[in-house]
Amino acid sequence: MPRPVTVIDSNVTNAVHQVMDAMQAPVYFETYIIKGKNMNHLTWEVVDSIRKNKVCLNGRVNNSLCGGARKELDLFASLVDCFNLNGQPSRHENVDIVVIRENTEGEYAGREHEVVPGVIESFQVTMTKFWSDRIAKYAFEYAHFSKRKKVTAVHNNGKYEKLADAFFLESCQEVAKMYPNITYNEIASRETRAIRRHSNSKSLWAIIANIASGVAGGSFGDDYAIFEQVGSVGNHKNPVALLFSSVMMLRHLLLPLFADRLKTAVTRVISEGKCGNSNTTTQEVVDSVIANLD
């Protein structure tokens, strides 16, 4: 039976439609166009569709679009898959990491109130034991099921939020004991020169994901999942990032054979240098991917 997927339309979502049709993948899309004043949040129609379908493919690069949905749908984990692409030059070699962050607390809690008229107090860092434990468990479970060997907790070394950092690391250390086959370590952001160079302008999560050339990812909870292109994607007309996110989506939908076919085809196209040229059109990439499907 075909799996329903909510789709937030963009220049490249039609590319995913075409490739899915060519593979005869058992999915069908409910497509929504978001524009104008709704550019930075999901409408109630889209949220209701996600509640019904459980899965969403966000074609827009503007990740703040789903910001309001994170809490409403309890999408507590943000995940970015970072890896080198054969045929694409990269400053860093042998990259194969997954960056996971808590999506609803800390700087994303969004808790504020008006103390007195004209004075707003904003709580930038709010951590609870439940949410701290939950994101740690998510990271280790992801590592376990994806057969990864190491989990690294990145923190600020108490430079800004000493209690919050200690809280987070305590949860990671406790959960690590439940996974003896996974190596656990910790690293302070100040120990990484690349992070220090960018630390004044971006969040720690965004810095790591961008430096590592994150391509595919999304926001996930116990009941719902939104797959999307991530912030390091520069060419909004190139469908490769969304196709890789679609690979993740197909695995989530328990369609691993279709996921493998799509990943193999996209990887072949990249290795042949058919999508690295800025003059290459979206349709040319799509045609190449379809031609390389097994």
CB 241 within 8 A of CB 230: yes
Q: What is the pLDDT of residues 118-172, one digit of tens each?
A: 555 445 555 678 888 999 999 999 999 999 999 999 877 655 556 667 788 899 9
Residue 175: the pLDDT is 96
Mean pLDDT of 232-253: 81
What are the tokens at 25?
A: 């993948």
Contact yes or no for 198/206 (Cβ under 8 A): no
Residue in 43, 45, 62 with CA at minimum distance from that of residue 53: 45
Percent residues over pLDDT 70 in the chain: 69
For residue 187, give both structure tokens.
């690293």
Cα 26 to Cα 258: distance, rounded to the nearest angstrom: 9
> In 186-255, where does DSSP find H-type helix?
193-198, 204-211, 240-252
Q: State pTM to two decimals.
A: 0.82
Q: pLDDT band for position 62 (50/70/90)? A: low
DSSP 2: P
Pick the CATH number of 3-95+212-291 from 3.30.70.3270, 3.40.718.10, 3.40.50.720, 3.50.7.10: 3.40.718.10
User: Are 225 and 219 spatial neighbours (Cβ–Cβ below 8 Å)?
Assistant: yes
Buried/exposed code over 62-100 (b: 16+ C-beta within 10 A; e: otherwise): bbebbbebbeebbbbbbbbbbbbbeeeeeeeeeeebbbb
Amino acid at the residue 126:
T
Domain boundaries, the chain: 3-95+212-291
pLDDT category of residue 232 using cuts at 50, 70 and 90: very low
Separation of alpha carbons 15 and 161, rounded Å: 44
Q: What is the pLDDT of residues 165-180, one digit of tens each?
A: 778 889 999 999 999 9
Average pLDDT over residues 85-111: 71
Tens of pLDDT, residues 63-82: 555 566 777 888 999 898 88
Contacts of residue 266, Cβ cutoff 8 Å, sequence gap at least 6: 240, 243, 244, 247, 289, 292
- 263 versus 83: the higher-pLDDT residue is 263
pLDDT (mean) for 232-241: 67
Mean pLDDT taken over the chain = 78
By C-alpha distance, which of 113, 108, 140 is closest to 125?
A: 108
Separation of alpha carbons 138 and 222, rounded Å: 10
Region 283-289: what's the mean pLDDT?
Answer: 91
How many Å apart are CA 191 and CA 250, to the nearest integer?
37
Given a cut of 60, whether residue 2 has pLDDT beyond it is yes
Q: Could you give the strand order of the β-sheet that contains 77-83, starting from the edge strand earlier in sequence?
A: 27-32, 3-8, 55-58, 225-229, 214-220, 77-83, 96-102
